[in-house]
């Protein structure tokens, strides 16, 4: 499957970070061998990495005035970091040039401060071209760093895949299948494992607001993921799994479509912690007895 990977990325948005994440540095650079341009927001080691949302918008506005932010031409990525600041005791905590970067990279043309008000720190990123938003990803790195990568033209540095979560609205209405797919950027080459890791992270704040939920069936994790001959994926769940008597949805309902999106997988066998499943042999789906209603 191919997707654009242009949907918003939302991670780690708690009610409040204590202490507030203090910005220390902003930098941008090209990574031609890997196929992307990168912006890094560094925060002081003594504070934290903030929760964030990154997504394309029609225009960047200044916070709190609401006035348009003057920027170079390009599609506009808004990076909003919650419970973060670029000031302390009335003084800016980064060099002035970090608040208005013009790196002149293939994709990233402009990185500019949009707001630093009441615990919300925001930047606009102008991405070339303006009329065709480029694929991007955003994630936190160790060392209190927030990273935004924008893919170079014609390059696919990460896999644009899907993760299937339980959908409360479908479950209540008796709609089959009772799951809904959401887009995720998956690290190559172990994309199947990355997809299951994203599943176990659960839906983000916006997805939870849409009624999506991770039905974990009491699984605490997974291990021994492999794909064997006949395009059969095998995965062992950890923890005292149980269907809780549900005939509608279990964790297997989410794992199977999440793995079957990959062209190397036609069948999925889910095992319990002891390595048992109902149909261990042959090219067919299988679940452990504990996930039966």
Write the DSSP assignment of 103-136 as a string of letters: ---SSEEEEEEEEEETTEEEEEEEES-TTSPPPE
d(C-alpha 102, C-alpha 91), whole Å: 23
Do 275 and 236 form a contact (C-beta atoms < 8 A)? yes
Burial of 247 per CB tally in 10 Å (0-12, 13-18, 19+): exposed
> What is the pLDDT at residue 18?
76
> What is the pLDDT at residue 49?
84
> What is the pLDDT at residue 215?
98
Q: What residue spans define the domains of the chain?
A: 9-151, 159-291
Cβ count within 10 A of residue 148? 25
Q: What token pair was written down for 77?
A: 């990525």
Cα of 214 vs its chain's centroid, Å: 15
- Ranges in the chain, pLDDT < 70: 1-3, 47
> What is the pLDDT at residue 153?
94
According to DSSP, the residues that pair with 117 across neighbouring strands are 120
Assigned CATH class of 9-151: mainly beta
Q: What angle do CA 62, 86, 9 make, to 5 degrees?
A: 65
The DSSP 8-state label assigned to residue 281 in this structure reads: S
Buried b (16+ CB within 10 A) or exposed e, 204-239: beebeeebbbbbbbebeebeebebeeeebbbbbbee
> What is the pLDDT at residue 23?
96
Burial of 197 per CB tally in 10 Å (0-12, 13-18, 19+): middle
Do 45 and 22 form a contact (C-beta atoms < 8 A)? no
> What is the pLDDT at residue 13?
76
Do 254 and 291 form a contact (C-beta atoms < 8 A)? no
> What is the pLDDT at residue 2?
43
d(C-alpha 233, C-alpha 257), whole Å: 11
> What is the pLDDT at residue 1?
38
3-state secondary structure of 47: coil
d(C-alpha 64, C-alpha 73), whole Å: 23
> What is the pLDDT at residue 259?
98
Burial of 250 per CB tally in 10 Å (0-12, 13-18, 19+): buried
Phi-psi region of 142 (alpha: psi -120 to 50; beta: other; left: phi over 0): beta
> What is the pLDDT at residue 19?
83
Which stretch of DSSP H or E encloses residue 205?
helix 205-209
Do 72 and 110 form a contact (C-beta atoms < 8 A)? yes
d(C-alpha 103, C-alpha 186), whole Å: 27
> What is the pLDDT at residue 142?
85
């Amino acid at each position: 499957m191919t997707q654009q990977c242009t949907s918003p990325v939302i991670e780690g948005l708690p009610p409040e970070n204590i202490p507030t994440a203090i910005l220390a540095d902003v930098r941008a650079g090209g990574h031609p061998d890997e196929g992307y341009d990168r912006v890094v927001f560094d925060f002081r080691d003594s504070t934290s990495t903030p929760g964030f949302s990154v997504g394309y918008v029609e225009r960047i506005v200044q916070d709190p005035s609401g006035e348009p932010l003057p920027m170079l031409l390009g599609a506009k990525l808004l990076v909003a970091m919650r419970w973060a600041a670029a000031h302390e005791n009335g003084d800016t905590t980064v060099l002035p040039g970090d608040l208005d970067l013009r790196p002149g990279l293939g994709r990233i043309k402009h990185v500019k401060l949009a707001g630093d008000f009441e615990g919300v720190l925001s930047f606009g990123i102008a991405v070339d071209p303006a009329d065709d938003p480029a694929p991007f990803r955003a994630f936190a790195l160790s060392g209190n760093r927030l990273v935004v990568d924008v893919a170079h033209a014609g390059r696919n540095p990460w896999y644009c895949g899907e993760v299937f979560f339980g959908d409360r609205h479908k479950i209540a209405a008796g709609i089959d299948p009772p799951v809904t797919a959401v887009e995720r950027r998956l690290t190559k080459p172990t994309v199947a494992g990355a997809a299951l890791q994203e599943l176990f992270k659960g839906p983000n704040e916006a997805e939870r607001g849409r009624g999506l939920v991770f039905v974990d069936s009491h699984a605490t994790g997974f291990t021994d993921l492999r794909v064997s001959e006949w395009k059969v994926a095998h995965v062992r769940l950890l923890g005292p799994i149980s269907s809780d008597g549900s005939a509608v949805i279990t964790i297997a309902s989410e794992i199977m479509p999440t793995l079957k999106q990959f062209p190397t997988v036609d069948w999925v066998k889910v095992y319990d912690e002891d390595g048992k499943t109902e149909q261990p042999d042959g090219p067919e789906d299988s679940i452990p007895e504990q996930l039966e209603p």
